[in-house]
């Protein structure tokens, strides 16, 4: 199992108890230090205080677990306006939003899509791509996806 998934699996029940959603987890080595970066969200958005409170809770659980063997820096933050979309539930929540999607393999000779997410059902989504109109994409074909804002 990938380290990021182990971290998310450990912390997901705690996040649910604290009424926050884990949007994304990254575990990367940066300038010689390991960084566990966890993006959270909740209804109405997260505040700095939410991030601070969750940081204390997550830190305690990570320290008690045996998941991260090396010393690490824990960062908790909001996913921001161009939040990543990784879970099927996220796609369902953002129907009607502008999205940017990259697929593992080409669909009609295209791997990068930008357009409005029209629907998500049965593991498939339809987007109105700015270049090619309506395109259907399987969830399993998505390499990377995020909300696209005009900020």
Task: At 135, list the tokens.
Answer: 């395109």
Predicted confidence pLDDT, tens digits, the chain (151 residues): 699 999 999 999 999 999 999 999 999 999 889 999 999 999 888 999 999 999 999 999 999 998 998 899 999 999 988 899 999 988 998 999 999 999 999 999 999 999 999 999 999 999 999 999 999 999 999 999 999 987 5
∠ Cα 100 144 5 (to 5°): 140
For the chain, domains (ranges, CATH) are 3-77 (3.30.300.70), 88-147 (2.30.30.180)
Q: What was the pLDDT predicted at 31?
A: 87
């Amino acid at each position: 199992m990938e380290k990021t998934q182990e971290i998310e699996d450990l912390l997901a029940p705690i996040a649910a108890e604290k009424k926050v959603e884990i949007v994304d987890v990254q575990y990367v080595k940066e300038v010689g230090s390991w960084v566990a970066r966890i993006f959270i969200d909740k209804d109405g958005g997260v505040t700095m205080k939410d991030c601070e409170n969750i940081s204390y809770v997550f830190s305690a659980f990570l320290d008690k677990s045996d998941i991260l063997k090396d010393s690490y820096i824990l960062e908790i933050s909001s996913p921001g306006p161009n939040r990543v979309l990784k879970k099927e539930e996220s796609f369902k929540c953002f129907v009607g939003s502008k999205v940017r999607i990259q697929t593992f393999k080409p669909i009609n000779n295209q791997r990068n899509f930008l357009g409005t997410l029209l629907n998500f059902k049965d593991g498939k989504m339809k987007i109105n791509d700015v270049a090619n109109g309506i395109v259907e994409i399987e969830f399993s074909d998505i390499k990377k996806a995020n909300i696209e804002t005009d900020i």
